[in-house]
């Protein structure tokens, strides 16, 4: 299973990109569990909620991994040589969010960063216009850019390949497809 994670600050087109990539590669994508959680329990979340959200994200990811594997096996003509899943967030996002808001991160989340494996990261830039959403907290560009640089530093300092994604929706999709295709064309990809 090839797992591609899309990360970046709020309102940078991550969910749209996941959906478009899944459509392009005839597979599925795993949404961000935090949206469902916050819509259910509200925006007055506490530090303890971060662990619940992280556990929910990984449970959802595992469900979508099994579904992507099953769907790939059932396809008469497969779009890729291995099953592929696009994931809208990971534990790096949980770590950044927790540390940014609360100044600390639960050790369980940190352990998941070490033990979970992914194959490619796509980092979305802050160059799309801000879109208001009842769950978004940081409309100012300065904060969004600060968060972008935190994500970029994380990706630079880890071993999984990653690619920057910027521009219009069409440019983002083209860049993402290029990065995914480059990964898939590598031996073992």
CATH 3.40.50.300 for the 2-185 domain, yes or no? yes
Q: What are phi and psi of 17, to 5 degrees?
A: -65, -40
pTM of the model: 0.93
* pLDDT, tens only, 68-88: 999 888 887 777 778 899 999
* pLDDT, tens only, 19-33: 999 999 999 999 999
Domain chopping of the chain, boundaries: 2-185
Q: What are phi and psi of 78, to 5 degrees?
A: -85, 140
Tokens of 147: 């968060």
Tokens of 83: 């099953």
Residue 55 in this model has a pLDDT that exceeds 80: yes
Q: Which of 39, 34, 35 is nearest to 54 (CA)?
A: 34
């Amino acid at each position: 299973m090839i797992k591609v994670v899309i990360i970046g600050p709020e309102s940078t087109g991550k969910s749209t990109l996941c959906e478009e990539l899944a459509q392009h590669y005839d597979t599925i994508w795993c949404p961000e569990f935090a949206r469902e959680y916050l819509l259910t329990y509200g925006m007055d979340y506490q530090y303890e909620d971060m662990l619940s959200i992280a556990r929910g994200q990984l449970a959802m990811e595992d469900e979508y991994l099994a579904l992507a594997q099953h769907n790939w096996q059932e396809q008469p003509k497969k779009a890729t040589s291995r099953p592929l899943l696009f994931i809208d967030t990971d534990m790096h996002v949980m770590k950044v969010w927790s540390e940014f808001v609360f100044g600390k991160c639960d050790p369980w989340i940190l352990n998941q960063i070490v033990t979970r494996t992914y194959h490619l990261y796509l980092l979305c830039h802050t160059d799309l216009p801000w879109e208001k959403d009842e769950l978004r907290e940081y409309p100012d560009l300065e904060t969004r850019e600060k968060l972008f640089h935190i994500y970029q530093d994380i990706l630079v300092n880890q071993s999984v390949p990653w690619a920057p994604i910027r521009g219009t929706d069409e440019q983002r999709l083209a860049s993402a497809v290029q990065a995914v295709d480059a990964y898939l064309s590598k031996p073992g990809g």
